[in-house]
A and B are shown apart, each in its own frame.
Chain A
Amino acid sequence: MKVFCVIPAWNEEKNIIETINKVLPYVDGLVIVDDYSTDKTAEILKQVKNNKITSLHHPINLGQGAALQTGNEYCLKNGAEIIVHFDADGQFLAEEIPKIIKPILEEEYEIVFGSRFMEINSDIPKFKKNVIHPLAKKFNYIFFSIKTSDPQSGFRAMTRNVAQKIKIESDRMAHCTEILAKAFDYKLRIKEVPITVLYKEFGQKFSGGFTIIKDLILKKIKG
């Protein structure tokens, strides 16, 4: 099956080449979506010459959700059968891509989410692990009936059909919850697999959580 990986990138001049080199051996196609970076990310990507690698460039900054949707649409147009979402910043391990697509290839699951809270002990900051994530999980369950162990992981894989069904409408960071909510809503065959996350100083700010909640509530009101 043709496996494509979408990597949304914003100001990742320091990490993008390393991430590309790590991911490329595991996929048939790699799509990097530059979300109007203000550093040298775009210039670096334009110099990459490889048949398997495509870089797309947003004309304005739209957000990670929007970048993933752009990547999805490109992958669908170009014959992808499995689409993997992978962060540009080096927090995920490319070696775990086979693990995340395995349930789709061998067990007919339709969408697989990587979870930071199963088995492997990732080095998650204590406040995130003990306060933010449990609250996010409760919020997801109460409002969207989402029953997964990780409410916000960005490492996921889906079949072509699922990518066609789930159109990501949340441009910014609420897309994680949106994808989960739609997967449960459409009663897809969902699987979670444990993944490793290497935490660095970055990652979402606390205030980002409020923006997510606001975006999700606004969506619910609009219907």
Chain B
Amino acid sequence: MSFWMIFWILAALIIVFIKPIDRLVIKLGFSSSGINLAFYLAVMFLFYLIFKMRLKISKLEKDISNLARKITLMEK
């Protein structure tokens, strides 16, 4: 829960302070705008989230298999 709270707060802050972020981005030497940078970071973050979810699903599938196997063998 706190993860998503921080996420939404950060997102709101980025929107509110987009102009200062723009200036920071130009100072750092990037050619894109602050909004574009926000998009790039958001996409990278999404990829990371999807990857983590994939690993979690994999673990769940393994647990389901083990449970199903236990049930199968218990019936004999």
Contacts and interface: CB of A to CB of B under 8 A. Distances in A.
A60 B72 CA distance: 10
Given A70-B73, A73-B73, A74-B73, A58 B68 contact: yes
A218 B68 CA distance: 22
Given A171-B61, A218-B54, A222-B55, A56 B76 contact: yes
B55 A62 contact: no
Interface string B4-42: 000000000000000000000000000000000000000
Interface residue SS majority, chain B = helix
Contacts, number: 41
Report the contact-size class of chain B (Cβ under 8 Å from the partner).
10 to 19
Interface string B62-75: 10110011011101
Given A218-B54, A222-B58, A59 B71 contact: yes
Interface of B: 54-55, 58, 61-62, 64-65, 68-69, 71-73, 75-76
Interface of A: 33, 54, 56-60, 62, 66, 69-70, 73-74, 77, 169, 171, 218, 221-222
